[in-house]
Amino acid sequence: MFTARHWLQALFVFMGLCASSWAQKNDPMISFTSNAQLHQKLYDKNPALYAYIVGDASGKIDSYHAPHIYITPASCQKIITALLALRILGPQYRYKTQLFVSKTDGHIHSARIGFSGDPLLTSDQLKTLLKPLQGQHIPGHLFLDCAAFSTPEHSEDWMIGDMGSNHSGPVSAANIDHNWIEVRIKRHAHTTGCMVTNTGQIPMVADIKVHKKPTKIKLWWNQHCLYAFGYLNDSEPEKIYTRSPQALTPYLLNKVRQVMTELGITGQIQVINHLNRQDSKKREALLSVVYSKKLVEVLGPAFKASDNLVFDAWYLTILHNVSPHAIVEWCRGDPIIKALLKKYFDLDMKGAFFVDGSGLSRYNRIQPAQLWQVLKAGYGMPALIHAFAHPGEKDSTLAKRTILPKGVRAKTGHLLGISALCGYAWHPTKGARSLPKAFVFVAQGYEGTRKKVQPIIDSFLKDQLHGAGKEKTPSQSRSI
């Protein structure tokens, strides 16, 4: 029987074919082709669509399928954010978190921490920042100034189910310890029960038993209470999980209070999201400052681990740095990102839509052909090239993607029902002496898990990229 689901799948396929037909008429270089074997394997998984494009970094296209349909890039969006962060903020860019104080009769009356959006600020760095106030009482307030960003801490375009997970934390000018709450599950001695604690002083409801079954624990939020249920395998003494807070302000207040207690600092804390900076400059003096690592030092580890907080913080930092107007909604960054890509890389992103820097939102959209052009532009930036992971690389999203050729350097993108892979492939023996292939592949709307689709994608790309890379000519060599 031809059900509604089949009609919907047929509609998506028809839309993909129409988009590809349009591309053939309007761009003779990028037309529509199909690989029958790949087509059969992927459509066994019932995807709504798939698309790919492969070509060398100088601009010559080798193969393609539906490159002008709009797809959801997932974490491949981070390539765009990284490209612009390197160009707009610069490889040497560092966030700085500052401590200001105001005095009355020569004594400190109040203090203010000026947060700048550093996504990797730690409690230890905060302790270093507040060290000059050790053992003191602040009669006024210790203000946590989050005015550097005027956007909500969660994008309005994220799925509600993502919030509170360990991959979708709140993003603010103030971020401490990755905005993660650590949940520790430890077995009681000589019992089948477990003790469950967390670092955020969050109310918890837990029922976890020690069992011979493999460890299986589910964590979820319900009305600002964290629930934990499941089994801890009897061979494991403890297990540690991370979750993001549903609301950032209580989390920040708790983190700062902990540091103040360690340093013997007393006083009230208040979060502020706006400040008359001209007035504050008349009353305040800078007492201390801590700096983040350089952007180029953070890029590789964050890119390979697909760190959403880092890339969303960079996205908001870029927007707030270049826009003459207040950015109060994440989606207002779309025209700014497009304008920057056009200005600095001559990339036309007509029809695309960019609402965050991490790729978490399903509202993000781009054509594979446009994303391939981004890769072409990125080839001229060694700092970006070096950030891509290689197959089997430890602590990267390619750690288990060993089917791919050794010369591949790629970025993965995953959301439920979406699997994307973008990057470069060098000749296996010539390496950097060869001109790499640039490739984009996405499958979208398939059934089951990505584990069933990834081997199909990887095997196909292995065949497409076999012997990738030809000798460079002087005109093809690029440097930043």
pLDDT tens digits, one per residue of 196-214 = 999 888 899 999 999 899 9
Which CATH number is 4-91+296-469 given?
A: 3.40.710.10
What pLDDT does 46 receive?
58
Average pLDDT value for the chain: 85
Comparing 162 with 65, the larger pLDDT belongs to: 65
Cα–Cα distance, 339 to 295 (Å, whole number)? 22
Confidence band, pLDDT 50/70/90 cuts, at residue 280: low
Q: What is the pLDDT of residue 291?
A: 98
- Which of residues 4 and 431 earns the better pLDDT score? 431
Query: Domain 96-158+169-174+247-292, what fold?
Result: D-tyrosyl-trna(Tyr) Deacylase; Chain: A; (3.50.80)
pLDDT of residue 474: 35
pLDDT of residue 153: 87
Integer-rounded Cα Rg, in Å, for the chain is: 25
Residue 406 has pLDDT above 70, yes or no: yes
pLDDT of amino acid 28: 36
Integer distance in angstroms from the first to the last C-alpha of the chain? 58
pTM of the model: 0.86
Give the per-residue pLDDT at 475: 35
For range 307-333, the mean pLDDT: 93
Give mean pLDDT, residues 162-191.
83
Query: For residue 11, is pLDDT > 60?
Result: no
pLDDT at residue 476 greater than cutoff 60: no
Higher pLDDT, 422 or 34: 422
Q: Which two tokens stand for residue 41?
A: 């394997």
SS (H, E, C) the chain: CCCHHHHHHHHHHHHHHHHHHHHHHHCCCCCCCCCHHHHHHHHCCCCCEEEEEEEECCCCEEEEECCCCCECCHHHHHHHHHHHHHHHHCCCCCCEEEEEEEEECCEEEEEEEECCCCCCCCHHHHHHHHHHHCCCEEEEEEEEECCCCCCCCCCCCCCHHHCCCCCCCCCCCCCCHHHCEEEEEEECCCCCEEEEEECCCCCEEEEEEEECCCCEEEEEEECCEEEEEEEEECCCCEEEEEECCCCHHHHHHHHHHHHHHHHCCEEEEEEECCCCHHHHHHHEEEEEEEECCCHHHHHHHHHHHCCHHHHHHHHHHHHHHHCCCCCCCHHHHHHHHHHHHHHHHCCCCCCCECCCCCCCCCCCEECHHHHHHHHHHHCCCHHHHCCCECCCCCCCCCCCCCCCCCCEEEEEEEECCEEEEEEEECCCCCHHHEECEEEEEEEECCCCCHHHHHHHHHHHHHHHCCCCCEECCHHHCCCC
The ranges of the chain annotated as CATH 3.50.80.20 are 96-158+169-174+247-292
Name the residue with tokens 């089994």.
231
The answer to whether 245 and 254 are in contact (CB under 8 A) is no
Above 90 in pLDDT, residue 167? no
Flag whether pLDDT at 41 surpasses 70: no
Residue with the two structure tokens 């999201």: 273
Every domain range in the chain assigned CATH 3.40.710.10: 4-91+296-469
pLDDT of residue 155: 80
